[in-house]
Structures are given as C-alpha cells and as structure tokens.
C-alpha cells in the first residue's frame, strides 16, 4: 500500500527527571535556569502537569526563580513594604507566635509569598525571613566586578569588593543587563556598582540589587589588578 506522506516519525522518549515525578530531565534542566520555570516551556496541554515542579520552583535554592525571588522580596522590603499591621504579624510569626487576623491581614503576607499555612496554622516562609532581613539590615553601594557569564544557565559570577573579594557570587545575568542596560557580551571584566547587604555570613544570603555602571576603583586596572 502506498504511503503518500511517508512513514510516521515518532520522537524518541526522553528520560524522566529523577528529582520529580512530572517532567523529563531535559525540561527540568531548562526550567531550573529559566524565570519561566518548567511550566513556561511546555504547551498548554502539559502545563498543569508540570505546574509547581520543585526542580524550578522559587522555593528551591539556586534555581533562577529562587534567585529572582530573593531580589524581588528585598526590593519590596526597601521600596514598597507591606503595611504596619502586616509587618507586625510577620514579626510575630518569625518569633514563633500565632497570627490572629487570618481574614484581613494574613492574606497580605500570603499573596506576597511571605506567609503560608502549614497544618492549618499560619507560618512565615523563607522569603518572609528574607523580607525582614532586608527591612532591618544595612544595604549600601559596593563595587562589583563581573568575572564571567554563562549563557546556558543565564548566570554571571561577580566579585563583591566589600564582602569577600576572593569568593565569587552567582547572580542572574538578566538582572545585571536589565538594571544596567549593558549588553551581555560586554559584561565579563566590567566594573559595576550594586547595592548589597555585605554583613551577611554566606553567599546564599547576599542579595545584590540595582546594578549600574561605575568608574574603576582608585588604584585598579581594567584586568582587576592593582595598578602599578
């Protein structure tokens, strides 16, 4: 019998992700490094299936969504904070207390990702702690040098002068380009200024915001060394 359209092509099945029960390994690799997460890289038919995949969630450390959530909540605390009642409730929850107004005040925390219900009780989220740290902590301008960029993971490694100059910190490449207006290819070796909480003890709690162009620090050359 003739086959006017030729043999049917069946795409080989992709291996499942070993970390979750909803995605392929390739999809999670893409979603992990994308602000769209896994659900942003499938068709409408499969979006509900992969929605909330932990491999790309903002609650999973080092995903693109997690990195952006730290920035979003830090900026919220400094630029557009919640109301006094909501902040007071958040501080009570942070100290292990119980929220009383679950109908009017708590939803303000929940919708922003600062509060959650666990076992029927209100609780602060990790982002809630980030919010309070940003509200209470010291943030100041610091010199930053971009070491390199990874276009596959959409990240950049930077040195933060007032934190630990010899310990690179990973940030979202898109964040730097959006803040500064610079092209991705011009970032490696570039000196910038950013706002940071340089008093934190580890890189996971170091949040950089407001990247902008800056002149070279006095006594330094373009290659990152001290001028002779």
Q: What is the pLDDT of residue 102?
A: 80
Q: What is the pLDDT of residue 1?
A: 45
User: Do 149 and 114 belong to one domain?
Assistant: no
Kindly report, residue by residue over 158-212, the tens digit of the pLDDT. Answer: 999 999 988 999 999 999 999 999 999 999 999 999 999 999 999 999 999 999 9
What number is the average pLDDT over the span 6-18? 68
Supply the CATH number for residue 159's domain.
Answer: 2.40.50.140
User: What DSSP string runs through 123-137?
Assistant: EE-HHHHHHHHHHHS
Band (219; pLDDT cuts 50, 70, 90): low
User: Do 118 and 165 belong to one domain?
Assistant: no
Inter-residue contact 27 to 38 (CB < 8 Å): yes
Give the span between the Cα atoms of 227 and 40, in whole angstroms: 47
Q: Which residue has the higher pLDDT, 113 or 3?
A: 113
User: Do 150 and 194 belong to one domain?
Assistant: yes
Give the span between the Cα atoms of 81 and 60, in whole angstroms: 24
Kindly report, residue by residue over 72-124, the tens digit of the pLDDT. Answer: 999 999 999 999 999 999 999 999 998 877 888 999 999 999 999 999 899 99
What's the structural domain count of the chain?
2
Inter-residue contact 20 to 55 (CB < 8 Å): yes
List of residues 6+ apart from 42 with CB closer than 8 A: 27, 49, 50
State whether the Cα torsion 191-69-35-204 is positive or negative. Answer: positive
Domain boundary among 108, 136, 164: 136
List of residues 6+ apart from 209 with CB closer than 8 A: 71, 74, 75, 139, 179, 194, 195, 196
């Amino acid at each position: 019998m003739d086959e006017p359209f030729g043999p049917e092509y069946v795409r080989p099945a992709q291996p499942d992700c070993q970390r979750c029960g909803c995605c392929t390994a390739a999809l999670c690799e893409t979603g992990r490094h994308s602000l769209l997460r896994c659900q942003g890289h499938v068709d409408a038919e499969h979006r509900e299936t992969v929605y909330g995949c932990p491999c790309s969630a903002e609650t999973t450390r080092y995903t693109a969504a997690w990195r952006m959530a730290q920035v979003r909540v830090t900026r919220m605390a400094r630029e557009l904070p919640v109301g006094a009642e909501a902040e007071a409730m958040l501080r009570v929850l942070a100290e292990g207390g119980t929220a009383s107004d679950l109908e009017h005040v708590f939803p303000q925390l929940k919708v922003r990702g600062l509060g959650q219900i666990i076992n029927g009780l209100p609780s602060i989220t990790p982002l809630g702690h980030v919010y309070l740290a940003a509200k209470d902590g010291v943030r100041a301008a610091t010199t930053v040098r971009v070491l390199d960029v990874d276009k596959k993971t959409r990240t950049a490694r930077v040195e933060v002068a007032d934190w630990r100059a010899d310990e690179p910190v990973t940030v979202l490449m898109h964040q730097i380009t959006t803040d500064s207006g610079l092209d991705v290819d011009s970032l490696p070796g570039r000196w910038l200024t950013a706002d940071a909480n340089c008093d934190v003890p580890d890189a996971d709690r170091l949040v950089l915001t407001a990247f902008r162009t800056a002149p070279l620090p006095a006594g330094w050359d373009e290659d990152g060394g001290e001028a002779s």
